[in-house]
Structure 1
Amino acid sequence: MENYPLPAQTLVEQMSAQALADPARAVAFQGAPGANSHLAAMSWRADSLPLPCFSFEDALDAVKEGRADQAIIPIENSLHGRVADMHFLLPESGLSIVAEYFLPIHHCLMTANGGAPIATAISHVQALGQCRKYLRAHDIRPVVYADTAAAAALVAETRETGAAAIAPALAAELYGLTIAARDIEDSHDNMTRFVILAREARLPQPDVATMTTFLFEVKNIPAALYKAMGGFATNGVNMTKLESYQRGASFSATEFYADIEGMPGDPAVDRALDELRFHTKWLRLLGSYPQARTRAPA
């Protein structure tokens, strides 16, 4: 609790008490009240009791320990790419992806000092990156903070002249700030994709368009990735996301995070995954879930 600025602490206490009294409706999210993840939790599940958590690890732990039924975690943004390092966090948590949700992201510049000139804007690195054109055009210096709403709470607490926060409009309402500018993101179709995590996997119905997310490590041989991907091409399985990353400092082998359309049980998917297993050191399925937005071409 002491990690949150003072104006957020009372709200965190109230929301935590409500969520912990009814864990079946609790949805853990990272950030202070008023964050985009808070908005996503309320928008995705109307009857949810959002549970604020200081870090992504804390949100996952809340689900693991039964204090929340689910967690909602931002995974990628249309303007600024990867949000959370889920390829590290999710395997260690033992949780499964059971759904996805897309939230339009609109950022506001907010201050505690009315019309005073703004010199600095404090926010999460993702929000700052999504608003860099506005900040540069107005000669405002970006300052990185833990999350957007906590930044708003900090500005409300310190009331420093010339300081502003970038956060959702809800944060200004919660912390009594004045919105100096709205919709300052670099593109107005700004969108963040969230995944919803639970203790148990929940397979979609067979007639529902689905996604499957998995991790794998290629063998350290020439053309390893080419061979590993061949089964998806020959079986007509659409891969919508493939990201590489390194674990540890050896740089001897590369691990990958991938999304495909379909799920195990589909003959084409089963054949593609069998071929992938043959050409990789290991494969770990993270979950199959309904598509929130179609990936089919327009």
Structure 2
Amino acid sequence: MSKTLLGNLPDGREVHCLSLQSGRLSAKVLTLGAILQDLRMEGVGYPLVLGAPDVADYLGSARYFGAIVGRFANRIGEGRFTLDGKTYRTDLNFRDRHTLHGGGEGTDAQIWQVQSLSPDRATLTMELPDGHMGFPGRIRIAAEIGLAGDGLSFTLSAGADAPTVCSLAHHGFFDLDGRGDIRNHSLMIDAGHYLPVDDDLIPTGEIRPVADTDFDFRSLRRIGSAGYDHNFCLSEGQRPLRPVARLTGESGLSMQVETTACGLQFYDGTYMRDVPGLDGQSYGPHAGLALETQHWPDAPNRPGFPDAVLRPGQVYSETTIYRFIA
């Protein structure tokens, strides 16, 4: 367990690195964005996640890598939604038309405070004011990141002083082979439906069966090159912690994803371009994949999607565990 100064952002803000270790796993977590910068497993000669060596890259080419994204993860179409009869307009940071991951100054771009630190876990907290990025309500957020056995866990919680929308997600990129190309990994997702998207990657509103499509991952199969950045519908609301996905590399190393969340965004890294990485690597297309557990995207605008509203007195809480099996 340690806390060290890693560097400064261009605006002078200090970024610290927290080192965690338990069993065969060791991790580095940054106070910027509660980013998981590095994850190693004893006996495996390469990092299991994609990360950047320079903290400034996390505001540029490595944006969102390993971060906790929010206050609303994924996309809100046209950067607006109506809540309790009032329309809110949020930051248009995606193609100048939509809101992505809470806006240009979302949780990934904030310095989090270290509330507690032990050898195998850290709790980081932050607060966003009412009106931040156009969202209503002051919101207080906590992220407990822990290692136990061969598992990496995230428990994300929040409370607000006014009705708002909330969806928090760990946006880690994984590569179980260390080869810089995940297309030969095999994936299983326990979901019978997914959300089709338009040309701006905004859900159309349809909830489509995966049967007889390239989105049918109900049995473990090779990922390939179809180009995925879609939500898989795990359930119609929060559920008890349960396995929802399994990823297996050609090396034989596997990762099981367990979550309480109702959605899983699978992004295969199609749009990565020349990102400076760990151990002298450079990340290009398909260098890693994200399995982001969260609410369904654009839920504030879709009455048929699971409710993503957080009201005063309620506690948002979601847990996700990534278990590694050698």
Do Structure 1 and Structure 2 share a fold, with TM-score over 0.5?
no
Structure showing greater Rg: 1
Of Structure 1 and Structure 2, the greater strand share is in 2
User: TM-score of the superposition, structure 1-length normalised?
Assistant: 0.28
Of Structure 1 and Structure 2, the greater helix share is in 1
Ranked by relative contact order (alpha carbons within 8 Å, sequence separation 6 or more), the top structure is: 1
